[in-house]
Amino acid sequence: MDENIINDLNDELESVIEEGHSMLRDAQLEEKFNEIKTEAELLVRKHPITSVVVGAAVGYLIGKIFR
């Protein structure tokens, strides 16, 4: 009986640890995404005309691919 309780506690502890790791990875991923977003915004502000041309070209190519 005591062994079953210990096994259940170990399983619960492993679950909580895995959930903690998952939350940490999600936070790191969100932080990295925000960094990339900020860099992209700065790049677009620095080169607005180029950004519009590149965006139009990518949109055109995607339209051709899915047509």
- Does this model's pTM top 0.75? no
pLDDT value for 57: 94
pLDDT value for 10: 82
Closest CA to 43 of 28, 55, 31: 55
**CA-based max dimension of the chain:** 72
pLDDT value for 1: 56
